[in-house]
């Protein structure tokens, strides 16, 4: 369930994506999502791609105690959360792909981007004092919408499949074959079919002979050929 509520009947005007059970800092994911919210998709992609390689810091509006001031952010506090930027970038690309499959226009805006805590798994230290440290997972969700007045691409009409024409028999030089050559080709096809039928008949005959031998040995209570007789216990 998404935290962004969309009116019923208008789901086709939005594209969504979601990443579940991510092993990353929830605080970092929240700040990364806050930096792309309400931005055009192109600007959001450029920011996340730069942040994923550490070329651009992310502005921290909260959770910024004891953080350094970044020149690229105009002296405001920020950090380089590469792992979180890669995760949000993956979710954004998935939402863009969903928008394309729905036939939406390329002029999209990040209407909603959020990260939340998913679950917590208990962990204990293997030696010494049993200190508890929980593994916290997170989830990321992104919703895209079209800009006002954006035109959607026209849907291509599906062309009706034409019946395949049978390939004409050609001679050695690539020219259309004569009636005599066509007859020879048909005769070869008939010979192949007859050979296959004979092979199947032989297989059935051998199978019946084998079954008759097995039945005969069962009635005579004799061991099958190639097998040692069962020794009676003394």
Using the structure block, give the residue that is written with the tokens 């928008």.
Answer: 99
Residue-level pLDDT at 131 = 84
Give the confidence band of 109 by pLDDT, cuts at 50, 70, 90. Answer: very high
Q: Mind listing the pLDDT tens digit for each residue in 39-91?
A: 999 999 999 999 999 999 999 998 899 999 999 999 999 999 999 999 999 99
Quote the pTM value.
Answer: 0.63
Residue 15 confidence (pLDDT) above 70:
yes
pLDDT at 233 over 70: no
Band of residue 188 on the pLDDT scale cut at 50, 70, 90: confident
CA distance 18 to 115: 10
pLDDT at 216: 75
Q: How confident is the model at residue 6 (pLDDT cuts 50, 70, 90)?
A: confident
User: Residue 150 — pLDDT band, cuts 50, 70, 90?
Assistant: confident
What is the arithmetic mean of pLDDT over 196-201? 87
Residue 181: exposed, middle, or buried by beta-carbon count in 10 A (0-12, 13-18, 19+)? middle
Q: Which residues pair with 19 in a beta bridge?
A: 140
Q: Phi and psi at residue 228, in whole multiples of 5°?
A: -80, 140
pLDDT of residue 137: 94
Give pLDDT, residue 51: 94
Phi, psi for residue 180 in degrees, rounded to 5: -65, -40
- DSSP characters for the chain? --SS---TT-GGGEEEEEEEEE-S-HHHHHHHHHHHTTSBHHHHHHHHHHHHTTSS-EE-SSS-TTPPB-GGGTT-BEE--HHHHHHHHHHHHHHHHHHHHHT--S-EEEEEEEEEEEEEE--B-SSSS--B--EEEEEEEEEEEEPTTPPPPPPPPPPPPPPPPPPPPB-TTSSBPPHHHHHHHHHHHHHHHHHHHHHHHHHHHHHHHHHHHHHHHHHHT-PPTTSPPPPPP-
The average pLDDT across 2-28 equals 87
């Amino acid at each position: 369930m998404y935290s962004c509520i969309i009116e019923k009947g208008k789901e086709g005007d939005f594209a969504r994506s979601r990443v579940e059970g991510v092993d990353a800092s929830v605080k970092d994911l929240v700040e990364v999502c806050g930096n792309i919210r309400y931005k055009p998709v192109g600007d959001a992609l450029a920011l996340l791609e730069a942040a994923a390689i550490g070329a651009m810091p992310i502005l921290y509006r909260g959770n910024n105690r004891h953080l350094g001031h970044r020149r690229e952010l105009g002296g405001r506090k920020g950090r380089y959360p590469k792992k979180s930027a890669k995760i949000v970038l993956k979710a954004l690309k998935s939402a863009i792909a969903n928008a394309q499959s729905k036939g939406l226009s390329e002029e999209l805006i990040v209407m909603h981007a959020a990260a939340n805590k998913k679950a917590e798994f208990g962990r204990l230290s293997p030696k010494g004092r049993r200190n508890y440290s929980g593994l916290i997972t997170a989830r990321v969700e992104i919703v895209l919408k079209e800009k006002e007045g954006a035109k959607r691409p026209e849907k291509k009409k599906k062309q009706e499949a034409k019946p395949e024409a049978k390939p004409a028999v050609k001679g050695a030089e690539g020219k259309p074959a004569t009636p005599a050559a066509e007859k020879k080709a048909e005769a070869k096809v008939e010979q192949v079919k007859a050979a296959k039928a004979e092979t199947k008949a032989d297989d059935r005959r051998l199978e019946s002979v084998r079954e008759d031998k097995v039945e005969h040995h069962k009635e005579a209570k004799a061991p099958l050929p190639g097998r040692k007789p069962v020794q009676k216990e003394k």
